[in-house]
Structure 1
Amino acid sequence: MTFGIEEEFMLLDPRRLTPVDLGRRVVDDLRGDGAGEVAREFFCSQIEYATPVCETVADAEDALLGFRRRLAQWAADAGVVAAGTGTPIQAARHPAVSSGERYARVATDVGALADDHQINGLHVHVGIPDRDTGVQASNTLRPWLPVLLALSANSPFWDGAETGYDSWRAIHSRRWTTYGVPPRFRDADDYDRTVAKLIGVGATSDEGTINWTVRLSSKYPTLEVRVCDAQLDPSASVALAAIIRALVGTAAMHEPDRTPDAPADAALWHAARFGLGTTLVHPLTGRPAPSREVLRVLHDRTAPLLREDNERAAVDAFLRRAVNGAAFQRRAAASGTPALALLFGESLTTLREGATAG
């Protein structure tokens, strides 16, 4: 089962950690340099990197680490920090939207919400044989999406202040026309009918503006999982991608979630608020349970689908650590802005315990 990873990064002033509008320069300088694709994002302070299609976690890690090293060198030369964070600690007051008709239309459609959309995600595409299989996998993933958010939560600050949330990015996203756990669908036709009804509603101008945390890709034969915050380090991104690919692979092995939509979306809010710190809504019971218990269930569910020793090692270490990026950011910020800037810079190319590369 092939997969690909998209990572979003924000460019920050190293002293104040405010966004700086150098995204276009990064894209011009790094496009075509190495595997994968680098592209502009919604704001001029953001960029996105997409890996090539990957067969193994080692393929993904080589691609991510290769790009991150090039980005780190570019940032050092430019005197900025390239940060894998769900939100910047200091948001720009009136951020500049990247040029282009599509970005301009989205900014117009969402109005005053546009300025707050300084958020960065990790998106994982998993190859599917057909759209009906993708819908079945989407249904199966529904109760696991809050767990993935808690594991990946990496945005505790906004406007220079502690939000009390592990993923403030997820809270920002809730204000868009569509967000959260998608409905259950009978099949691909049911999915397509629902999407067609949404076009023209609110800020949903096309399939690309459907903002569910998992959706069928409108461009590729993939299921796109969009629930995760951008990650500090490449090993976290790779481990999350391996977990997501394994969960998609379980779709044919288990009955899909049957819990009502409201509790499922409430579980997503709970994960954004508390991360891994207290409880998570148990995917199999729908009731709060200790986070470590839920992570053990996730491990047991995905372990049979992890393909190679290094993939298992990466996922095992990630789940055993049970510390998300929000916790790392809070620890660094307690020592001041310079320490947080150092965390962003050093984490960009850090392989933590269980990483696959040498």
Structure 2
Amino acid sequence: MDHSVGILTGDRPGLVADAVRSAVTFGIEEEFVFVDRRTLQTIDLGPAAITELGADAAGAVAAEFFPSQIEYATPVCTRTDEALAAILAFRRALAAFADAAGVVVAGTGTPFRTLTRGDDWSGRYAVIADEIAGLAPDHQLNGLHVHVGIADRDAGVRASNFLRPWLPALLALSANSPFWQGRDTGFASWRAIHSRRWTTHSTPPYFADAVEYDDALDRLAGVGATSDAGTINWHARLSQRHPTLEVRVCDAQLDPRSSVALAAIIRALVVEGFDTVTPRPTRYEGWDAAHWHAARHGTSSTLIDPASGHPVPAVVVIEALRSIVERHLDADGRREVDGFFAELERSGTGASRQRRAHAAGELAGLYRSRVAGD
């Protein structure tokens, strides 16, 4: 497997000014699901939560695909502590709402058990549901999306090219969806496997520049369920509404600090990518297969090494990733990232924690205690 030469150090020609890199903004989108405390089946409390919490939240509170879900987006941030404060404030209000309603709200990539629904979508979601047909009832999936500000679309394309081999590792680190319809799937991220059935849910292609990227968008319009650029589901994509690169590979997280740490890692990788010119691949790379492998095993086995393209112990890839991101972290970001990896070493991924809690009959308690960082 031939991958880009020097991907870990890169050819850094100073394409983005230091002042721009040091002030790179970011924002975090988190998705949650309401579930019954006893059965862990989805409960349709999203609209009520939006009504109660939306007016007072810093950032934006919005509906997701199902009424059992809710999405929160932070304000635009420049520092890690800003993002953590916003997420903690919203999650605490969300947890209080769930407690008052007698339910649990969970930061998990898939709910333990879903309520099968019919054709009751409206607006844009109705169009999407019609296009994806029989996939719609299964799309009760929750992700963590990170937007990172870009100087221009060409800088975003360079960062996307650099990110491509690191996306499986990001999925492995964030894997937090082992259950589906009351059963253990055997995967660390079942959300990732579900999502592969969408038209463009995959590693983003390599692009020379923004012109080539936009040409691909034009060619994909009307193909499958790709009705517009907003339905492109690459793991990293240029936002059509904001001057950002949006990284969409991660599962929703049990606790707020994991979300913020992953966002800090992603922002650091994107900043590294601004000044890294990645050569166009000349041979089959296999990053989508690496993504499946990461979804299956999380960090418990091997990951595909971005430098060689071969399986190596997960810790080798994680250490290589840390060596890149550390130089782009602020002090708060370094604290959160170090804490994240320490927790990963102690307790494993979110999927591992969920499995242990389920075996002990304490999964609802795990959801309730972790959603607000208690």
| TM-score band w.r.t. shorter chain | over 0.9
* 1:44–1:27 distance in 2 versus 1, CA, 3 Å: same
Q: 1:257, 1:347 → 2: CA distance?
A: 42
1:328 paired with 2:350, answer no
- Percent sequence identity over matched residues? 56
For residue 3 of structure 2, what is the aligned residue in structure 1?
A: none
Q: CA–CA distance in 2 between the matches of 1:22 and 1:226?
A: 25
Partner residue of 2:8? none
What residue in structure 1 maps to residue 324 of structure 2?
301
Q: Which moved more, 1:85-94 or 1:318-327?
A: 318-327
Taking a change above 3 Å as real, the CA distance of residues 61 and 96 of structure 1, as seen in their structure-2 partners, is: farther
Aligned residue for 2:286, secondary structure, equals: helix
Q: Does 1:135 align with 2:157?
A: yes
Answer with 244-253 or 159-168: which moved more. Answer: 244-253
The reply on whether 1:86 has 2:114 as its aligned counterpart is no
Distance in 1 separating the partners of 2:37 and 2:93: 18
CA separation of 1:348/1:325 partners in 2, compared to 1, >3 Å: closer, same or farther? same
For residues 124 and 222 of structure 2, the distance between their equivalents in structure 1, rounded to whole angstroms, comes to 15
Q: Which runs of 5+ in 1 are unaligned?
A: 352-358
Counterpart in the other structure of 2:44? 21
2:312 is paired with a residue of what secondary structure?
A: strand
- Separation of aligned partners in 2, 1:205 and 1:46: 23
Following superposition, the deviation at residue 294 of structure 1 comes to 1.0
Q: Which runs of 4+ in 1 moved over 6 A?
A: none
Q: How far off is 1:349 after superposition?
A: 1.1
CA–CA distance in 2 between the matches of 1:340 and 1:319?
22
Inter-partner Cα distance in structure 1 for 2:279 and 2:137: 36
Deviation by residue 1:248-297 (Cα, 9 ceiling, x = unmatched): 01114434275555511110000000000011001111111111111110
Shift of 1:350: 1.2
Question: Could you say if the C-alpha distance between residues 341 and 201 of structure 1 is closer, same or farther in structure 2, counting changes exceeding 3 Å?
Answer: same
Deviations 1:320-339 (A, max 9, x none): 33321101100100012xx1
8 Å CA contact 1:143–1:257 kept in 2: the answer is no
Q: Tell me whether 1:4 sits opposite 2:43 in the alignment.
A: no
Corresponding residue pairs, total: 347
Q: Is the 8 A contact 2:33 2:68 kept in 1?
A: yes
Which residue type is aligned with residue 350 of structure 2?
G
1:190 positional shift: 0.6
Matched-pair contact (CA < 8 Å) for 1:278–1:291:
yes
Find 1:247's aligned residue among 251, 269, 279.
269
Matches within 5 A, 1:72-221: 72-94=95-117, 97=120, 99-221=121-243
44, 65, 71: which one aligns with 1:48: 71
Per-residue deviation at 1:298?
0.6
Query: 1:258 and 1:242 mapped to 2: Cα distance?
Result: 27
TM-score, L = length of structure 2: 0.90
Partner deviation per Cα, 1:62-104 (whole Å, 9 max, x = no partner): 000000000000001111111000001112222675x432110
1:191-223 Cα deviation digits (max 9, x unpaired): 011011111001111111101110000110000
Distance 1:282 1:320 in 2: 22
Q: Return the TM-score normalized by structure 1.
A: 0.94
Show structure 2 runs of 5+ residues with no match: 1-23
Please state how far the C-alpha of 1:232 moved relative to its aligned partner. 0.3
**Structure-1 residue corresponding to 2:5:** none
